[in-house]
């Protein structure tokens, strides 16, 4: 792998940048692999990377039906955090934060990890108390968290509505190490790293079926031919139910579209990630200067990577309730991503009843920040054929045993999806 650095950049400048290698190759699929990862998104690429790096399994293919990084890793709001209440989530995502902290150096690719602080605003004492429950749980798990009062917040986000808000700001919970990263760079960095260790990244290769014999996986059928393998990992958040259906599996998952948008770029004024507690709005300002904003689901099953305006209207009204100064900024770009909405809001990283088939899904809104730790634990599970302590609670059968991990307390009502 050609190393990236300021020196290589300068050196290449003098040859007009004509000597850079490809970041990853474009191989033809082989007949057989030790492990096949379906889905060239963040999680799939990270899984392949850690299979090679941590478990020395390099005869690996990533099969991607489109172009790598084109799914949710490239259509999120780039937020990283581990501010979870339940241990299963908190410890898992905290391990992820530790991976994030070193990721640029590990991958030799600047993923722009920016620990600018994630602030959750509270709009009542009752909400502050539920935040305290979460924040205290974080602290007892060794995760950073601080409570902020109104005066402290006024210094950090003076342009927020502290005077005439319908739901006044009472305070907030902040995870100082939370922040953002450059989403595309994460996918590309993992791709480059995996490729350099021998992983085949095969784009425009759609999985059309599976060969299962006697309860064991034998291989996959693809638009570019059949590929033999004994182990296959599914990392296709958004479309998991569709692939699972090809394995005759039904999952506790619905696919929903989550929209996000950015404003035109402006000079920096917002230095943190801030979420609005009297709604679902969250935003940060990218290094380019764009306000990156997101909120709530459109609210009905969807496989369309686009949403409708009333949801954005609703979300942006929450934005103006929090930051009334952004009213005169202009919304530049909108997009949608398809979420695997699991029934308790937490992910599934598990083996399945088919030997050699491993499942990584159910990320809801939170998949991006999980990219490193999801890949790390999934690689472990595939390589060792067992769950790691970190993903031991993310079992599929928790929906049968009742060991649910419901952060928000809003889990399934049958008629609310």
Partner 1 sequence: MSQLYRLNKDGYINRDKKISFVFNGKKYFGYEGDTLASALLANGVHLIGRSYKYHRPRGLFGAGVDEPNAKVQLYRGTETEPNANVTEVELVEGLVAKSQNCWPSVYFDFGAINNFLNKFFPAGFYYKTFMWPKNFWYKVYEPIIRKIAGLGVAPLTPDKDRYEHKYEHCDVLVVGSGPSGLGSALSAGKNGARVILAEDKPRFGGSLLTDEVTIGNKKGNEWANEVILQLKSMPNVTVKNRSQVFGYYDHNMMVMFERTKDHVENPKKFTPRQRLWYIRAKEIIISTGSIERPLVFANNDRPGILLASAAKEYMKVYGVLVGNKPIIFTNNDSAYETAIEFKKNGINPIIVDTRESSDNSVVKEAKNLNIEIKFSCGLANTRGYRRVNLATIGKFNSDKSGYEKLENISCDCVCVSGNWTPTIHLSSQSGNKLKYNDALNAFIPNQQKQNETTIGSAKGSMTLKQSLEEGFSKGFELSNKITNNNLKNTAPTSNERNYGQHDKFWCMPLPKKKNYKRFVDFQNDVAVSDIELAIREGFRSIEHIKRYTTLGMATDQGKTSNLNGLQLVSNIERKIVPEVGHTTFRPPYTPVTIGTIVGREVGKHYRPTRKSPMHEWHEKNNAVFVDAGLWLRPRYYKQEKETLLEASTREAINVRKNVGVCDVTSLGKIDIKGPDSAEFLNRVYTNAWMKLPIGKARYGVMLREDGIVFDDGTTTRIAENHYHMTTTTAQAVNVLAHLEYYLQVVWSELNVNVVSTTEQWAGAALAGPNSRNLLSKLFPENDVSNENFPFMGYMESELFGVPARIFRISFSGELAYEINVQSSYGIFMWEKIIELGQEMNIEPYGTEALSTLRIEMGHVAGSEIDGRTISYDLSLEGMLSKKKDFIGKRSLIREAFTNPKREKIVGLIPLDQKTMIPEGSHLVKDGNATLPNPKLGHVSASCWSAEYNNPFSLAILQDGKNKIGEKLFAVSPLKNRNIAVEVVSSHYVDPKGERVRS
Partner 2 sequence: MLEIKCPYCGKRSQNEFSYGGDANLKRPELGKEVSDKVWDDFVYYRSNPKGKHSELWHHVSGCRQWFKVSRNTATHEIFKTSKLDEEL
Sheet strands side by side (includes 357-361): 200-202, 60-63, 35-38, 231-234, 357-361, 348-351
Counting contacts by CB under 8 A, is residue 14 touching partner 2? no
Stretch that binds partner 2, among 32-40, 169-177, 273-281, 294-302 (CB under 8 A): 294-302
**Pairing mode of beta strands 207-213, 146-149:** unpaired
Inter-CA distances, 233 with 39, 51, 53, 210, 399, Å = 9, 11, 17, 12, 21
Choose which of 245, 287, 389, 408 interacts with partner 2 (CB under 8 A): 245
1 binds, among partner 1, partner 2, none (CB under 5 to 8 A by kind): none
Is residue 116 a contact partner of residue 285, using CB atoms and an 8 Å limit? Answer: no
Residue 36 beta carbon to partner 2: minimum distance, rounded to whole angstroms: 22
Question: According to CB under 8 A, which one of 310, 317, 353, 389 is a site residue for partner 2?
Answer: 310
Write down the least CB distance from residue 328 to partner 1, Å.
Answer: 5
In whole angstroms, give the CA distance from residue 160 to residue 321. Answer: 8
* Residue 317 binding partner 2, by CB under 8 A: no
**Contacting residue, 9, 126, 140, 304, with partner 2 by CB under 8 A:** 304
Residue 254 contact, options partner 1, partner 2, none, Cβ 5-8 Å cut-off depending on partner type: partner 2
List the one residue from 20, 67, 159, 300 that touches partner 2 (CB under 8 A).
Answer: 300
Ordered alpha helix ranges (H), 149-205: 150-156, 183-196
Q: What is the C-alpha to C-alpha distance for residues 271 and 264, in angstroms, rounded to an integer? A: 17
Residues numbered 342 to 361 that lie near partner 2 (CB under 8 A) are 343
**Residue 60: φ, ψ to 5°:** -125, 140
- CB under 5 to 8 A by kind: which of partner 1, partner 2, none does 242 bind? partner 2
Chain position carrying tokens 């889905």: 39
Judged by CB, which is closer to partner 2: 51, or 343? 343
Beta strands 60-63 and 35-38: pairing type? Answer: parallel
CB of 399 to partner 2, least distance (A): 4
Q: How far is the CB of 216 from partner 1 (least distance, A)?
A: 28
Q: Minimum distance from CB of 404 to partner 2 (Å)?
A: 9
DSSP character for 306? Answer: -
Are residues 335 and 259 in contact, defined by beta-carbon separation less than 8 angstroms? yes
**Nearer of residues 58 and 265 to partner 1, judged by Cβ:** 265
Confirm if 410 and 93 have CB atoms less than 8 A apart.
no
CA angle 151, 155, 159 (to 5 degrees): 105
One of 187, 251, 270, 326 touching partner 2 (CB under 8 A): 251
**DSSP-H helix ranges across 125-182:** 125-140, 150-156
Beta strand pairing status for 291-301 and 253-263?
antiparallel
How many Cα atoms occupy the beta-carbon half-sphere of 374 within 13 Å? 29
Rule CB under 8 A: say whether 412 interacts with partner 2: yes
Q: Tell me the β-bridge partners of 284.
A: 292
Among partner 1, partner 2, none, what binds residue 239 when CB lies within 5 to 8 Å by partner kind? partner 2
In the complex with partner 2, which residue's Cβ is closer, 14 or 415?
Answer: 415
Q: Kindly tell me which of 195 and 344 has the beta carbon lying closer to partner 2.
A: 344
Q: How far is the CB of 177 from partner 1 (least distance, A)?
A: 10
Residue from 77, 302, 374, 377 binding partner 2 (CB under 8 A): 302
Q: What are phi and psi of 208, to 5 degrees?
A: -110, -15
409 touching partner 2, by CB under 8 A: no
The CA distance from 61 to 50, in Å, is 13
In the set 3, 17, 166, 250, which binds partner 2 (CB under 8 A)? 250
**Partner from partner 1, partner 2, none contacting 87, C-beta within 5 to 8 A by type:** partner 1
Give contact residues for partner 2 (rule: CB under 8 A).
239, 241-242, 245, 250-255, 299-304, 308-310, 343, 399-400, 412, 414-417
């Amino acid at each position: 792998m050609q190393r990236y650095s300021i020196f290589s950049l300068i050196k290449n400048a003098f040859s007009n940048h004509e000597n850079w290698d490809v970041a990853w190759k474009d191989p033809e699929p082989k007949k057989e692999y030790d492990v096949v990862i379906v889905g060239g998104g963040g999680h799939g690429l990270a899984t392949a990377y850690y299979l090679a790096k941590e478990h020395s399994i390099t005869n690996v293919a990533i099969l991607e039906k489109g172009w790598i990084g084109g799914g949710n890793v490239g259509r999120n709001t780039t937020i990283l955090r581990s501010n979870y209440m339940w241990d299963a989530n908190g410890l898992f995502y905290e391990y992820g934060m530790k991976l994030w902290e070193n990721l640029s150096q590990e991958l030799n690719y600047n993923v722009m990890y920016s620990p600018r602080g994630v602030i959750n605003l509270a709009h009542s004492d009752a909400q502050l108390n539920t935040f305290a429950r979460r924040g205290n749980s974080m602290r007892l798990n060794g995760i950073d968290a601080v409570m902020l009062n109104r005066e402290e917040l006024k210094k950090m986000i003076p342009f927020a509505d502290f005077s005439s808000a319908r739901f006044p700001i009472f305070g907030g919970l902040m995870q100082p190490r939370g922040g953002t990263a450059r989403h595309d760079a994460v996918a590309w960095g993992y791709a480059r790293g995996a490729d350099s260790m021998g992983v085949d990244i095969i784009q425009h290769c759609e999985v059309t079926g599976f060969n299962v014999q006697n309860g064991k996986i034998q291989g996959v059928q693809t638009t570019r031919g059949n590929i033999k393998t004994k182990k296959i990992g599914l990392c296709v958040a958004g479309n998991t139910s569709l692939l699972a259906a090809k394995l005759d599996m039904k999952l506790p998952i619905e696919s929903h579209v989550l929209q996000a948008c950015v404003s035109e770029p402006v000079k920096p004024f917002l230095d943190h990630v801030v979420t609005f507690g009297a709604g679902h709005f969250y935003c940060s300002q990218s290094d380019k200067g764009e306000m990156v904003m997101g909120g709530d689901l459109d609210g009905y099953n969807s496989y369309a990577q686009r949403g409708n305006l009333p949801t954005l209207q609703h979300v942006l009204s929450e934005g103006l309730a929090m930051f009334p100064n952004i009213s005169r900024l202009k919304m530049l770009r909108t997009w949608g991503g398809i979420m695997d909405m699991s029934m308790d809001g937490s992910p599934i990283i598990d083996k399945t009843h088919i030997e050699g088939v491993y499942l990584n899904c159910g990320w809801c809104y939170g998949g991006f920040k999980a990219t490193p730790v999801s890949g790390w634990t999934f690689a472990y599970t595939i390589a060792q054929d067992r769950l790691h302590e970190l993903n031991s609670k993310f079992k599929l059968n928790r929906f049968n045993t009742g060991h649910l991990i419901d952060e928000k307390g809003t889990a399934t009502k049958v008629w609310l999806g």
